Amino acid sequence: MKQATDQIIIQRADVRLEILPWGATLRRLEVAIGGGWRNITLGHPTLADYQTNPGYLGASVGRFANRIDHARFRLDGVEYALAANAAPNHIHGGPGGFSARTWDVLGVGEDWAEFGLTSADGDQGYPGEVVARAHYLVGDDGVEITYTATTSAPTVVNLTNHAYFNLDGEGAGTIEAHLLRVDADTFTVLRDDGVPTGEIHSVEGTGLDFRSPQAIGAARTQAVANGWGRDGGIDHNFAVNGAGMRRHAVLSTSDLSLTVFSDLPGVQVYTGNHLAGEPGTSGAPYSAFAGVALETQAFPDSPNHDNFPSAVLRPGQEYRTTTRWQFS
């Protein structure tokens, strides 16, 4: 039986991952560049740091990623009360969510690893027993993460990986000069506490327009000045154009580019506004904006908005979603 502290390393060609059973967490993502290896994701030095710090660095987040208004939702005429860990709201599956569990290691190969977790009926207030899987696969030029889940009763599911990227290297400074493109014409408008109002708004003129590549620092400054930023930066769900497996975003620096593909309807762009002080794998605490999260997802609070894509999972159905990170 694997322990929470076990480090599982998988690799192919120029990409190498280190994964922890705790939270099925991606601790390091290294790419071969410039004659050496560069770690381009943020992580913590010890298991205790993952257990005591709130940043979800590299974690598999669920049962429902992002926020649910006032920690409650109604499904099939029944209202469910969830654990309010961002009072009065619920975030990232609650205080005992999937990121705060030791997942079972179901199998490991040279370039793949699969983890499993069973979430009991009533866990964090959610209905139905949910059996989840997280499958990491390393390709020649990237990484593919597939999440699956089944349920014993109608419920809601929204799984994502909460990796923070810094293409200059973990601990190399901020991502302010990184260029970001997001394939979205609209985003979900937020209240001050980060919960969507239900309005879907055009990105034009907001500072959140990444339809062509924008420097993250300049964009977040404009978004804050225009009244669309949050906590001094960006922490917004973008409604990605199209459907099915498609490009969601491109993050780039002078010598490395990351393209994110997924079949999910949205992507949360979070510029690491609250990373200051989080202990890093390089041995030094991070600053604000030390990394950017590109969380492919269902829309936040979708169980409470009929105009958002549904996140309902019913018995006999399989939740399955894949996100691919391609490097060049």
Q: Which of 127, 202, 160, 182 is nearest to 299 (CA)?
A: 160
Contact predicate 127/80, CB 8 Å:
yes
d(CA 123, CA 27): 26
Whether 295 is a known active-site residue: answer yes
- What CA–CA distances, in Å, run from 312 to 156, 300, 319? 4, 13, 9
- CB neighbours of 51 closer than 8 A, spacing ≥ 6? 22, 100
Q: For 198-203, which contacts have Cβ atoms below 8 Å and span 24 or more sequence positions? A: 198/305, 198/307, 198/308, 200/239, 200/307, 203/238
Residue with tokens 């980060």: 194
Residue with tokens 């506490």: 193
30, 114, 278, 295: the catalytic one is 295
> Which DSSP category does 30 fall into?
E
Number of Cβ within 10 Å of residue 72's Cβ equals 17
Whether 274 is a known active-site residue: answer no
d(CA 294, CA 84): 24
Q: Which of 60, 53, 27 is nearest to 41 (CA)?
A: 27
Q: Which of 289, 279, 282, 249 is nearest to 266 (CA)?
A: 249
90, 92, 135, 162: the catalytic one is 162
| Widest CA span in the chain | 59
Contact predicate 294/234, CB 8 Å:
no
Q: What are the catalytic residues? A: 162, 295
